[in-house]
Amino acid sequence: MSTLIVQKFGGTSVGTPERIKAVARRVAAERRGGADVVVVVSAMGHTTDELTKLAAAVTTDARTAHPRELDMLLTAGERITMALTAMAIRDCGIEAISLTGSQAAIITDGTHTGARIEEVRADRVRTELGRGAVVIVAGFQGVSRAREVTTLGRGGSDTTAVALGAALGADRCDIFTDVDGVYTADPRRVPDARVLRAVDFDDMVELAASGAQVMHPRAVEIGARFNVPIRVLSSFSDDTGGGTLITRRKGHMEELALTGLASAGGQAKVTIRGLPPSMAALTAIMTVLANAGVSVDTLAVADRADGRRQLQITIHESDIDRCVELCHEQVELLGGAAVDVQRGLSKVTLVGSGMTGLPGVYARSLEALLAAGVDVHAVGTSSVSISFLVDAAVEDQTLQSLHAAFDLAKETE
């Protein structure tokens, strides 16, 4: 059986007719090499922004830009790219056919502008591959069981590509983007950051969720669940062997394996003091925030010697006003003392699935930050990461000192 590769090209990679032709030449070369190829494309460059502006221009009330009609409008974007890409590939002498999300049977739930993929019925794609065609599938879009056109929301095209890879049992899913791969840290902030040759799925989910822009975590999660190796590489480089391979890594024994750093600005810390120490009070506050759509990142509870409880949460700055108003209401209702807010924070996350249960990581991190004069406002942890909440002004120093402390610039293996 021949190799099957899914290749995804984002909006910048297909931003002009010239770039579409470059994509076509790359795909044609892969096909001539003998592989079956499925191509997933996003809308060209700024098409989505332009369509969104048109929607704003025809409505006086943004709420009338109905999610269903927005989806109908925006899906025109990939439709244009996929047809042009098919034409350009055919122009290279390779048979090609484009399919909408509906034709490729990307079945989603009915949540317009943010649908989840439920199933990919890849029969049509398989039939077209079987007759030797390169199949171009519109990214970002799907169809609900009620036959309504849906879009997948953020990270949609990556998600389409990896989901197709999973459904087809692809050997690999290539995500072409405008950077060279996944870095140990943002190279604009950490000058000696390097491209990782390989990353474990879990680490990549954590990096993506912690602010690494290169891929959306939901696409990586599908890759992890269905074990589809994902390669992230630049569409502007001819080095097809480069990039980062995201895959299931063979177990490491006791080695302290750290992968990289990610960071996200725009964070805020809200502290509610003097609460009664009951589960009921805690639950009430978290429920009120959830119902208001305030997304809480980290949560820490501290019980004081006087029997009162202190609750500390981190949220995105855009949610501050709503959050503080609701917290004040709850403080009145439940009997609390005060609500404090600290804005202008950044979250820096150190990722590495090898760190599990290794207390040395905390110590080495905090020593490095102390030496760099960085004050940490909060710490969060997961099984594969540690996050430090710091002032935005010292975000770069934090990244640089952690990058150095764990020797991330040095290639392992």
Can you give the binding site for a second copy, defined by CB under 8 A? 17, 20-21, 24, 51, 54-55, 57-61, 64-66, 68-70, 72-73, 75-77, 79-80, 82-88, 90-91, 97-98, 100, 103, 147, 149
Q: C-beta of 318: minimal distance to a second copy in Å?
A: 25
Q: C-beta of 28: minimal distance to a second copy in Å?
A: 12
Q: C-beta of 6: minimal distance to a second copy in Å?
A: 20
Backbone angles phi, psi at 367, to 5 degrees: -60, -45
Q: C-beta of 148: minimal distance to a second copy in Å?
A: 8
Q: What is the 3-state secondary structure (H, E, C) of the chain?
A: CCCEEEEEECCCCCCCHHHHHHHHHHHHHHHHCCCEEEEEECCCCCHHHHHHHHHHHCCCCHHHCCHHHHHHHHHHHHHHHHHHHHHHHHHCCCCEEEECCCCCCEEECCCCCCCCEEEECCHHHHHHHHCCCEEEEECCEEEECCCCEEECCCCHHHHHHHHHHHHHCCCEEEEEECCCCCECCCCCCCCCCCECCEEEHHHHHHHHHCCCCCCCHHHHHHHHHHCCCEEEEECCCCCCCCCEEEECCCCCCCCCCCCEEEEEEEEEEEEEEEECCCHHHHHHHHHHHHHCCCCEEEEEEEECCCCCEEEEEEEEHHHHHHHHHHHHHHHHHHCCCEEEEEEEEEEEEEECHHHCCCCHHHHHHHHHHHHCCCCEEEEEEECCEEEEEEEHHHHHHHHHHHHHHCCCCCCCC
Q: C-beta of 169: minimal distance to a second copy in Å?
A: 25
Q: C-beta of 163: minimal distance to a second copy in Å?
A: 21
Toward a second copy, which CB reaches closer, 70 or 379? Answer: 70
Toward a second copy, which CB reaches closer, 86 or 162? Answer: 86
CA 284 from centroid of its chain's CA atoms: 30
Toward a second copy, which CB reaches closer, 51 or 300? Answer: 51
Toward a second copy, which CB reaches closer, 141 or 365? Answer: 141
Toward a second copy, which CB reaches closer, 21 or 46? Answer: 21
Toward a second copy, which CB reaches closer, 120 or 311? Answer: 120
Toward a second copy, which CB reaches closer, 137 or 228? Answer: 137
Toward a second copy, which CB reaches closer, 147 or 188? Answer: 147
Q: C-beta of 216: minimal distance to a second copy in Å?
A: 25
Q: C-beta of 73: minimal distance to a second copy in Å?
A: 4
